[in-house]
């Protein structure tokens, strides 16, 4: 790593983006995108706003991201040493790892016997939430911005008043016989 080229903010942002991209990977935003590994098509957690969500004071992690990025890069450096990886020292260690190594390290950090797992699991959950709920945005605004995650999971759009209603909702018919020991109220007898 070359600190003279990377501000702490850049290291933090790029490292945490790489973390989020490990959880829900996406396609690179540009050919020189280092954070996004580019192992999946379509927008992933990063394009969905993971950094915005993690930086939102409501998440509880906004003030800890710098420290967490440093810790993650420390783990990545040790992982690289253990596995004989030669990393590009011009970039943060976790960002320098190929996707498979990022994923392997993620499994280690979130393993049930890892004492640090709570923090990494929470960050993983938030990364996933950025993708599948756009939790940093009002959902109506997320739809207006063509949020990648909501689009990819196929979350249906609301009515014009911003509320969801599904008039058609049932096949009807009688798909199964009811249990013979059902009480008149419909409970197990």
Quick check: 55 binds other proteins (CB under 8 A)?
no
Quick check: 63 binds other proteins (CB under 8 A)?
no
Copy the structure tokens of residue 101.
Answer: 């190594």
Name the residue nearer to other proteins (CB basis): 3 or 175. Answer: 175
Quick check: 7 binds other proteins (CB under 8 A)?
no
Q: How far apart are CA 108 and CA 138, in angstroms?
A: 34
Q: Which of 12, 14, 59, 73 binds other proteins (CB under 8 A)?
A: 59
Quick check: 115 binds other proteins (CB under 8 A)?
no
Q: Do 85 and 97 meet the contact criterion of CB atoms below 8 Å apart?
A: yes
Residues 157-186 that bind other proteins (CB under 8 A): 158, 162-166, 168-183, 185-186
Name the residue nearer to other proteins (CB basis): 8 or 144. Answer: 144
Name the residue nearer to other proteins (CB basis): 3 or 57. Answer: 57
Q: Which of 40, 55, 66, 85 binds other proteins (CB under 8 A)?
A: 40
Of the chain, the end-to-end C-alpha distance in Å amounts to 68
Residues 81-110 that bind other proteins (CB under 8 A): 103, 106-107, 110
Q: Do 69 and 52 meet the contact criterion of CB atoms below 8 Å apart?
A: no
**Three-state DSSP state, 80:** helix
CB of 3 vs other proteins, minimal distance in Å: 30
What does the chain come to in residues? 189
DSSP 64: G
Q: Which of 2, 3, 58, 82 binds other proteins (CB under 8 A)?
A: 58
CB of 57 vs other proteins, minimal distance in Å: 7
Q: Which of 7, 138, 144, 145 binds other proteins (CB under 8 A)?
A: 138
Q: What is the 3-state secondary structure (H, E, C) of 14-41?
A: HHHHHHHHHHCCCCCCCCCCCCCCCCCC
Q: How far apart are CA 111 and CA 115, in angstroms?
A: 9
């Amino acid at each position: 790593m070359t600190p003279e080229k990377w501000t702490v903010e850049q290291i933090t942002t790029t490292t945490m983006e790489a973390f989020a991209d490990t959880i829900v990977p996406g396609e690179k935003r540009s050919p020189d995108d280092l954070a996004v590994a580019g192992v999946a098509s379509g927008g992933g957690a990063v394009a969905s706003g993971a950094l915005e969500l993690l930086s939102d004071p409501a998440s509880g992690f906004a003030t800890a991201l710098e420290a967490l990025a440093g810790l993650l890069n420390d783990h990545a450096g040790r992982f690289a040493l253990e596995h004989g990886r030669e990393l590009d020292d011009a970039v943060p260690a976790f960002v320098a790892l190929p996707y498979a190594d990022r994923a392997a390290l993620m499994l280690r950090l979130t393993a049930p016997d890892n004492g640090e797992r709570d923090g990494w699991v929470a960050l993983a959950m938030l990364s996933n939430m950025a993708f599948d709920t756009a939790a940093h945005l009002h959902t109506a605004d997320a739809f207006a911005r063509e949020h990648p995650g909501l689009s990819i999971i196929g979350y249906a759009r609301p009515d014009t008043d911003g509320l969801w209603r599904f008039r058609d909702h049932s096949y009807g018919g009688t798909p199964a016989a009811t249990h013979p020991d059902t009480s008149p109220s419909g409970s197990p007898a």
